[in-house]
Amino acid sequence: MQEILLPIYPWLKAGHLIFVIFWMAGLFMLPRFFVYHQEDGAPGSEMDALWTSREQKLLKIILLPSIIVVWVLGLALMSAVQAHTQGWFHAKFLLVIILSGYHGWLAAYAKKLARGERPMQGKALRLANEVPGILAAIIVILVVVKPF
């Protein structure tokens, strides 16, 4: 497998980074949409339906394809350079799993909003919006610096 992946490694890496950017953009946008949805869209209103539509489009058109491509290319990159044998990769992998779980939590929260539920306050959603940025910063440091 390595002999197939190594020659195309730069292309795998470029694709991985492009889709990480798309994924992160969506992860930054969706909690913001939730804040606006809760503030502007009373359950059952026209604005509620509009925000629900926006959230579903972001999830289905940007976030879902991006997370799939990120995982597929990331696993290919890991295989190409045997990254799974290095300590920094284990930490990165754990953080990517957490970020993927966060993505799942966002998708579940979007469904709650679509049903008219408002389980969190806007302030808590604004704080939740910081999660992907913090995790992305740590992941970049792990990948670039490879501290262990």
Task: For residue range 56-101, list pLDDT tens digits in order.
Answer: 999 999 999 999 999 999 999 999 999 999 999 999 999 999 999 9
Q: Residue 102: what pLDDT?
A: 98
Helix, strand or coil for residue 121? coil
C-alpha–C-alpha distance, residues 126 and 144, integer Å: 29
Number of domains in the chain: 1
The pLDDT of 99-115, averaged and rounded, is 98
Q: Are 135 and 95 in contact (CB under 8 A)?
A: yes
Furthest-apart CA atoms within the chain: distance in Å: 57
User: What does the alpha-carbon distance between residue 74 and residue 122 come to, in Å, rounded to a whole number?
Assistant: 33
Helix segments in 83-130, DSSP class H: 87-114, 122-128
Q: Which of 39, 33, 41, 42 is nearest to 109 (CA)?
A: 33
Q: Burial-class residue 4 by CB neighbours within 10 Å (0-12, 13-18, 19+).
A: exposed
> What's the predicted TM-score (pTM) here?
0.94
Range of the domain at 86: 2-145
37 annotated ligand-binding residue: no
Residue 57 annotated as part of some ligand binding site: no
- pLDDT confidence of residue 41: 79
Classify residue 117 as left (phi > 0), alpha (psi -120 to 50) or beta: beta
Is there a contact between 96 and 139 (Cβ–Cβ < 8 Å)? yes
Residue 2 has pLDDT above 90, yes or no: no
Q: Which two tokens stand for residue 86?
A: 């290095």
Picking from 6, 12, 11, 19, the residue whose alpha carbon sits closest to that of residue 96 is 19
